[in-house]
Structure 1
Amino acid sequence: MIMNYYRNIDRSKVQFDFLVHYNEPGAYDEEIIRLGGKIFIMPKTVPHNYFIYRKSLEHFFKEHSEYKIVHGHLTSTAFMYLKIAKKYGVKCCIAHAHNTNVPRNIKGFIEKESKKLMLKYTDRLFSCSDAAAKFYFGEKIINTRGYNVLNNAIDSSEFIYNEKDREMIRQVLELEGKFVIGHIGRFETQKNHKYLLNIFRKIVNRKSNSVLLLIGKGPLEEEVKQKVHEMKLDKNVIFMGVRSDIPLLLQGMDVFVLPSLYEGLGIVLIEAQAAGLKCFASSSIPSEAKITDLVTFISLENSTEYWADEILKYYNGYNRKNCQKEIEESGYEIKSEVSNLEEFYIKA
């Protein structure tokens, strides 16, 4: 989402630099540098690093007084970096809500408990959906202070369905004659991969030529791979890793499945619709993500058999339509939406 805006914003007027919390190379590092951005690395945000992290933030903002805006997308430590940014004269501090829940671990606990502190040092509130705003900021705050919904906009022209691209990528990945189910998401509890695998097993039991593409990386990847092996689905599940050719991979899929436990919005659902894919998503995902008639929401309380039944209704194919107009009319076209953010930054 951030990169979509960065690619399309007028960088002669607004430039993004990035404060990140990883040592290993990121998927977008080279592109950021090519677009004129800088990347500054902070220590990892784990509890035992608290004082080192704080000291690093103090040093950074003391040395870099040129920044007028800090747009915080990492809410778990926003109470700290926004406070320090304010201390060193940052004019506009933004907290941006991207989710409708937090993980059930120490990081999630800290994130939940630190929200009130975060709000003390925040000038503006942003979110990817109304549901995310209500969860992170609370109804009382958003009713008194207001907030901006910044749509997880995409360049819809990159995703328009193309039969030749579909044939090509399916040939490259050796998927001809396969029923291809796609999922894009980081391997973490929120994305509910184990439930997805249980759905997929029901599908494979009925249609043995089914294939599941899992795109992404994350801390639970090895655990998911082990689960695939235990379920004897090794030949049917392909782990794709982090990919830069998402629009092309979507062309090769037959359906898209997103059974997340929660999402702030689910930008991958917007992208899948832009590619004309029939999508099956958990009812935990905000309704704003449904911008075409291609999305079917299903409760996670339904059986995996029910999910499989619904998905297999499209086993024999369907017409992949061009949804570009619907993307634009719903406010998810980046070329239109980027001007709103650009204007905000300039006036802030």
Structure 2
Amino acid sequence: MKKILYFGMTGSLGGTESFIINFWKSFNKGNISVDFIKVGNSLYFEEEILEEGSSVVALPERRRNPIKYFLSIYKLLKGKSEYEIIHVHLNSCSSIEPIIAAKLCGKKVFVHSHNAMNRMKIITRILHNINKKIMNRMVDKRLACSNKAGQWMFGKRDFIVINNAIPLKNYLYNKNNRQEVRHQLGLENKFVVGHVGRFTSQKNHEFLIDIFKSIREINKEAILLLVGDGELRSKIENKILELGLKDHVIITGARTDVSILLQAMDVFVFPSNFEGLGIVAIEAQAAGLPCIVSESIPTEAFITNLIKSVSLNESSNKWSEITLEHSKSFKRRNTYEEIKSAGYDISDAALILEKLYLNDFNTKQFDNS
């Protein structure tokens, strides 16, 4: 059995956390054993992880004491020889201490790119560009959620795309689930515009609210359903209040039942400033939803003809016009075969990653030279 240690899970629910937990649940536990690093006081899914027999290892927060953080990792890996692979999930290379410590301890390192940021704080960009060169010399396997994310993190080095797959059958359109959740949320006879994502600048909620304001000016039955939480939630709530939209916007907070909430929506709008993949756009397609997304979404997410890209340079009025095209009569359909054929069913994708851990899978690598 291979012992793997995962870095990259946080205390908030996002695309990376969903990816990790979906794959972990799908591994053959007789072949793969995964433990998780917790930095600080919280780790999303911690209770479930512990119940399933995996361990959670707590480390001090890096921001408070970077040296103590690094030494704690080094001590852990030096004394825990059973960890054969250290799998580090990254959104940027601003912090690569786990990679350096793992190599000093003679461990095999997988680095997994989950994003393709085109907007970063100056200090983050500087650290990313410096550390990226160091990281690329130390890593044993480079993984990414898309070609775009891989090229951004690894440049011209070879990398392997691991699809951000989902438990596909859980997301397929279900009329009974739709009726039940719409009743619970008071959405009967409403045109429900949906979004799933953390309240961060990446997800562009401010522009989304502008789009919805334009939608409401034309369709008085429109409701905006926002699934997620984050540091900008209060700011967005204030904007909703200022625009007089408070009674027409539902914010659910972070939820683990996204597959059910998607059933309640009529159209999915996703104007992100940047994405490594945009897994929720795939989840929305799995639920049979028409998806209006920004041009920052990588091509791998365009699996069905349900998804349409719109430039962020277009006005909120233009976005609302396109969204409202789906406000009359749109028939949801089953997209199982399309999404499975594209490699986004978790049972198939998890097997690829498992075989990479076990060194018995020679998948195609992408040479970007």
Same fold (TM over 0.5): yes
CA contact (8 A) 1:154 1:333 kept: yes
Q: Tell me how far apart the structure 2 counterparts of residues 104 and 133 of structure 1 sit (CA, whole Å).
A: 17
Cα deviations by residue, 1:268-296 (Å, 9 ceiling, x for unpaired):
01100000000010011111101000000
Instruction: Tell me what 2:24 maps to.
Output: 6
Partner SS state of residue 246, structure 2: coil
Worse-matched range after superposition: 34-43 or 307-316: 34-43
Instruction: Tell me what 1:129 maps to.
Output: 146
Amino acid at match of 1:194: E
Q: Tell me how far apart the structure 2 counterparts of residues 104 and 155 of structure 1 sit (CA, whole Å).
A: 32
* 1:103, distance to aligned residue in structure 2 (A): 4.7
Q: Tell me how far apart the structure 1 counterparts of residues 174 and 243 of structure 2 sit (CA, whole Å).
A: 34
Distance of aligned partners of 1:216 and 1:253 in 2 relative to their CA distance in 1, 3 Å threshold: same
Alignment of 1:1-348 (within 5 A): 1-24=19-42, 26-46=43-63, 48-74=64-90, 75-76=92-93, 79-90=96-107, 92-101=108-117, 103-105=119-121, 106-139=123-156, 141=157, 146-347=158-359
* 1:222, distance to aligned residue in structure 2 (A): 1.2
* 1:78, distance to aligned residue in structure 2 (A): 5.1
Partner SS state of residue 327, structure 1: helix
Which structure shows the bigger proportion of residues in helix conformation? 1
Instruction: Tell me what 2:15 maps to.
Output: none
CA contact (8 A) 2:240 2:246 kept: yes
Cα deviations by residue, 1:60-102 (Å, 9 ceiling, x for unpaired):
2223221000111034355321110111121x20111111116
Q: Tell me how far apart the structure 1 counterparts of residues 62 and 120 of structure 2 sit (CA, whole Å).
A: 17
Structure 2, unaligned stretches of length 5 or more? 1-18, 361-369
Identity value in percent:
38
Amino acid at match of 2:225: L
* 1:346, distance to aligned residue in structure 2 (A): 1.2
Cα deviations by residue, 1:137-195 (Å, 9 ceiling, x for unpaired):
112x2xxxx21100000111001111111000000011111111111111111111101
Distance of aligned partners of 1:321 and 1:67 in 2 relative to their CA distance in 1, 3 Å threshold: same
Aligned length: 340
CA contact (8 A) 2:192 2:266 kept: yes
Amino acid at match of 1:132: A
Distance of aligned partners of 1:108 and 1:334 in 2 relative to their CA distance in 1, 3 Å threshold: same
CA contact (8 A) 2:94 2:124 kept: no
- Pairwise CA RMSD: 1.5
Q: Tell me how far apart the structure 2 counterparts of residues 87 and 231 of structure 1 sit (CA, whole Å).
A: 55
Q: Tell me how far apart the structure 2 counterparts of residues 108 and 269 of structure 1 sit (CA, whole Å).
A: 27
Q: Tell me how far apart the structure 2 counterparts of residues 109 and 21 of structure 1 sit (CA, whole Å).
A: 23
Distance of aligned partners of 1:103 and 1:334 in 2 relative to their CA distance in 1, 3 Å threshold: same
Q: Tell me how far apart the structure 2 counterparts of residues 174 and 45 of structure 1 sit (CA, whole Å).
A: 44
Q: Tell me how far apart the structure 2 counterparts of residues 10 and 98 of structure 1 sit (CA, whole Å).
A: 23
Q: Tell me how far apart the structure 1 counterparts of residues 231 and 129 of structure 2 sit (CA, whole Å).
A: 21
Partner SS state of residue 358, structure 2: helix
Amino acid at match of 1:121: M
Partner SS state of residue 17, structure 1: strand
Q: Tell me how far apart the structure 1 counterparts of residues 56 and 278 of structure 2 sit (CA, whole Å).
A: 26
Cα deviations by residue, 1:18-75 (Å, 9 ceiling, x for unpaired):
1132313x331112112221111223343x5322221222222223221000111034
